[in-house]
Amino acid sequence: MTAIAFSSEHQVLGGFEISDMVKNLNPNDMPLWPALFITIACGAISGFHATQSPLMARCMENEKNGRFVFYGAMIGEGIIALIWCTVALSFFGSLEALSEAVKNGGPGNVVYGASFGLLGVFGGVIAFLGVVILPITSGDTAFRSSRLILAEYFNMEQKTLRNRLLMAVPLFVIGAVLTQVDFGIIWRYFGFANQATAVMMLWTATAYLMRHNKLHWICTVPALFMTTVCISFILNSSTLGFGLPMQISTIAGVLASLGALAYVAKVSKGKGETDLADEEKPQGVTKTA
């Protein structure tokens, strides 16, 4: 869709040439596999989104809205990711020009130039604000989720302002310290953690669907792929992981994926709802043999 919009033949946003998308454009010639699937950490698949399920569920009036809200949000973010990917490939004309724009002003300069260059002042302001607001809201939910997780772990209620600050202030300090670290390194850590969280969520969903005799492959296939990606990346990466050769890392990733599938299939043999604990059963209900 975005390729058609930018093609000169259709004249929707003509005059742009999309770079060769099957060529490795990394200036350091770093391998596409598996780093590409770690770098694109939110637009394609995101474990961070799964952690926000309890917060988003509180905002829904009816459980029936769940599919539209959760699935729709990921589809929407995927479209946004495709649009910005296309802009990066086409707006600046060449990899050298894009690299120069990043060098002179960072990613913000790329967003600013593309937004105002394509949409003018009014549209550029709206697009730029959208790009700014998204990270702000993500940071807000990340800090809030971290605070609630720690509060639950330390058994500290969060109704009073004092207890909220006791949890929040140390997290803000850690966040401020992390801003001094090179963003490229932070993003690699975030990307791996994000995708590893997605792997756990995908296997959890796979186990649930298997147990209830549902079409589980919609989760099983992505779980297999992303498990291979994460294991291969952490084994191969010399910065974050063990620095093993790519071939060995990939084989280990495939074996780990198959092992995870075998384990999930084994523990999901039971059918139907899991029995409630005796103390959670309604009165008058007895556990059958």
- What pLDDT is recorded for position 2? 47
| pLDDT interval class at 18 (50, 70, 90) | low
**Do 193 and 234 meet the contact criterion of CB atoms below 8 Å apart?**
no
- What pLDDT is recorded for position 4? 42
In terms of pLDDT, which residue wins out, 117 or 23?
Answer: 117
Residue 250 CA to residue 244 CA, distance in Å, equals 10
| pLDDT interval class at 264 (50, 70, 90) | very high
Give the CB-side neighbour count of residue 245, counting CA atoms within 13 A. Answer: 3
- What pLDDT is recorded for position 281? 46
Residue 274 lies in a domain: no
15 pLDDT higher than 70: no
- What pLDDT is recorded for position 289? 37
Residue 232 lies in a domain: yes
* Residues 189-242 pLDDT 10s: 888 888 999 999 999 999 999 999 899 999 999 999 999 999 999 999 888 888
Segments forming the whole domain that contains residue 73: 35-84+182-265
- What pLDDT is recorded for position 241? 83
Average pLDDT, the chain: 79
In terms of pLDDT, which residue wins out, 17 or 201?
Answer: 201
- What pLDDT is recorded for position 132? 74
- What pLDDT is recorded for position 39? 78
- What pLDDT is recorded for position 129? 74
Tokens at 60, concatenated: 């829904």
| pLDDT interval class at 253 (50, 70, 90) | very high
Residue 122 lies in a domain: no
Residue 115 lies in a domain: no
In terms of pLDDT, which residue wins out, 121 or 172?
Answer: 172
Work out the burial of residue 70: count CB atoms within 10 Å of its CB; fewer than 13 is exposed, 13-18 middle, 19 or more buried.
Answer: middle
113 pLDDT higher than 90: no
**Do 111 and 119 meet the contact criterion of CB atoms below 8 Å apart?**
no
Residue 12 lies in a domain: no
CA angle 206, 212, 218 (to 5 degrees): 35
- What pLDDT is recorded for position 85? 78
Query: How many independent structural domains does the chain possess?
Result: 1
Residue 45 lies in a domain: yes
Q: Looking up tokens 């060769």, which residue turns up? A: 20
262 pLDDT higher than 90: yes
Residue type, 13: L
* Residues 85-109 pLDDT 10s: 788 777 877 777 877 877 787 777 7
Residue type, 230: C
Residue 266 CA to residue 206 CA, distance in Å, equals 12
In terms of pLDDT, which residue wins out, 170 or 81?
Answer: 170
Tokens at 109, concatenated: 């300069």
Residue 78 lies in a domain: yes
- What pLDDT is recorded for position 171? 92
* Residue 204 burial (CB count, 10 A): 14
- What pLDDT is recorded for position 273? 52
Residue 205 CA to residue 223 CA, distance in Å, equals 9
Distances (CA, A) of 22 to 25, 82, 94, 247: 9, 15, 15, 21
Residue 60 lies in a domain: yes
Distances (CA, A) of 216 to 44, 150, 199: 20, 33, 15
- What pLDDT is recorded for position 119? 77
Distances (CA, A) of 274 to 42, 54, 207: 32, 21, 12
Q: Is the peptide bond before 31 cis (omega within 30 degrees of 0)?
A: no
- What pLDDT is recorded for position 255? 97
159 pLDDT higher than 60: yes
251 pLDDT higher than 80: yes
In terms of pLDDT, which residue wins out, 122 or 266?
Answer: 266
Mean pLDDT of 20-40: 69
11 pLDDT higher than 80: no
Distances (CA, A) of 193 to 42, 97, 258, 286: 12, 31, 21, 43
